[in-house]
Amino acid sequence: MGFVDLREWLARLEKEGELRRVTAEVDWDRELGAIARRTLEKKGPALLFERIKGYRTGRCTKLVTGVLGDRRLLAMALGFPRDVANPELVQHVMRKNRETIAPRIVPTGPVKEVVVTGAAIDQTQFPVPRWNFREGGRYIHTFSGVVTRDPDTRVMNVGIYRGMIGRKDTTPFLLIKGGQHWGAHFLKYAQRGEPMPVACVIGWDPIMPFLAGSPIPAGVCEWDVMGAYRGEPAELVRCETVDLEVPAAAEIVIEGVISDDPATYETEGPFGEFTGYVSDVPTPRPTMQITAITHRRDPIFQGCLEGTLPGSYSENSVMSSVQRAAIAWNILTAAGIPGVRDVYIHPITNGVNICVQIRKAYQGQAKQIAAALWGSSAAQYRYKHVIVVDDDIDISSYEQIDWAIAHRVNAGAGGLVVFPGIFGSPIDPSTPLHDRDTTRLGTGLWNRVLIDATRNWTFERRAEWDGQPFPPTVRPAPEDEARVRARWDEYGLGDL
């Protein structure tokens, strides 16, 4: 599957019955977000809003959301059948995350059909929703690929970072200097005394948010990895006012610079975050000064409703349930940890909780797994709680995990390990605000927990337990089960 632009992707979704056009008038203020929430509860489809209040005419009249609002849509975007099994998808992502095909720079493309600069710049000409009534403003960047460049190596990074409309030409962002890759770029520009050039790409191939929203290793350009996923170079054009490149067939690109001067900061937040809670309190944040907007004729604005609640999984959690498992599995492989049989992220946790199934090779292996995950910068917002189980436990089943925790964990004997005060998420509501002060701390502080729910090998091996350190379960002997199966009808139980 080669690259598709947003329009081709929407056409494909529509053909498959996975896109609804909403032609009734809808208010961008709260109503659109509430519709998106109810649609997530129903597991899709994607929604294309064609009549948005106040945007019947003008620069931009349409908005799409929910293009990856269920795992079946993500499977399609990655070129698989809708019902592909989880391990197949995760293994594909593990492989592709390690491959690259460099992009090709082309002279121009549809994203240059309209170029807006100077006093004409006005973000409110796009139908940007206030997704949730508790949010501090209109969030223009929820699903955008935010592009920056390392000033030393010139390698670009593409990430998803939330950004709210400030004034008509300014956008304060949650820009975390410690952990996020654009944060590392920001620190380098600040040391040089220069503002950081930024380009925000709205609406393109769904592979863009899938990779921009995931921690691909620092120094690896996401455009290159997207090329590997699509089997061809991404076609990029140069920006108008900043030294960056963006997809030639994107819907909208917003260019600008972000300064480290606190005098330029504007207030951002609160935001309905991926945790399912309102993130934090309004806070002065680094702010993008927009220098140009380029877009296709009649552009389609794209955004996503963040926030996972029981029964309604956001696009972030759908993507995270695959990506965060694949990234973790690659980390464990690179660390040389043997016997990893499965890695599973239940979408409701977005990867804040992670389950690892192992064929245990030695005591202390679960601690090694937690240490490897927590030692990776990919653990910035994720892997707070690591649960490790033996290979007789199916980690896609909550019941099986609960059984393992109930009877294999001895909290006082290494079954529960707390790693206090390690870097973590600044948007976790269980962390007090003073430990989430990114200005003071660089990022958030977490107390991470390992639950080692594997059988403990420090116990004495006993002959009564087949020479094992842990007692056997009450499952009947295989020969007894076989005999009963063979005589089942004879017992008069054939209808059960």
Ligand X SMILES: Cc1cc2nc3c(=O)[nH]c(=O)nc-3n(C[C@H](O)[C@H](O)[C@H](O)COP(=O)(O)O)c2cc1C
The residues binding ligand X (CB under 6 A) are 142-143, 157, 159-162, 174, 176, 180-182, 213-215, 304, 306, 315-316, 319, 380-381
If the CB atoms of residues 77 and 176 are measured against ligand X, the closer one turns out to be 176
Tokens of 66: 């929910």
| Cα separation, 252 vs 301, whole angstroms | 7
If the CB atoms of residues 77 and 174 are measured against ligand X, the closer one turns out to be 174
Q: How far is the CB of 398 from ligand X (least distance, A)?
A: 24
Residue type, position 188, single letter = K
If the CB atoms of residues 18 and 280 are measured against ligand X, the closer one turns out to be 280
Q: How far is the CB of 380 from ligand X (least distance, A)?
A: 6
If the CB atoms of residues 313 and 381 are measured against ligand X, the closer one turns out to be 381
Q: How far is the CB of 381 from ligand X (least distance, A)?
A: 6
Collect contacts of 191-197 with beta carbons under 8 A, ≥24 apart: 192/151, 194/151, 195/257, 195/258, 195/259, 195/260, 195/289, 196/148, 196/257, 196/258, 196/259, 197/148, 197/149, 197/239, 197/242, 197/243, 197/244, 197/255, 197/256, 197/257
Q: How far is the CB of 433 from ligand X (least distance, A)?
A: 17
If the CB atoms of residues 126 and 161 are measured against ligand X, the closer one turns out to be 161
Residues 62/63/68/69 CA torsion (nearest 10 deg): -120
Q: How far is the CB of 215 from ligand X (least distance, A)?
A: 4
If the CB atoms of residues 157 and 171 are measured against ligand X, the closer one turns out to be 157
Tell me the residue nearest to ligand X as measured from the CB. Answer: 213
What are the backbone dihedrals phi and psi of residue 414, each rounded to the nearest 5 degrees, phi first?
95, -5
| Cα separation, 416 vs 387, whole angstroms | 10
Contact 455, 408 (CB under 8 A): yes
If the CB atoms of residues 180 and 259 are measured against ligand X, the closer one turns out to be 180
Closest CA to 181 of 210, 223, 144, 221: 221
Residues 96/99/101/102 CA torsion (nearest 10 deg): 120
| Cα separation, 195 vs 149, whole angstroms | 12
Closest CA to 165 of 246, 308, 285: 285
Q: How far is the CB of 359 from ligand X (least distance, A)?
A: 30
Q: How far is the CB of 273 from ligand X (least distance, A)?
A: 8
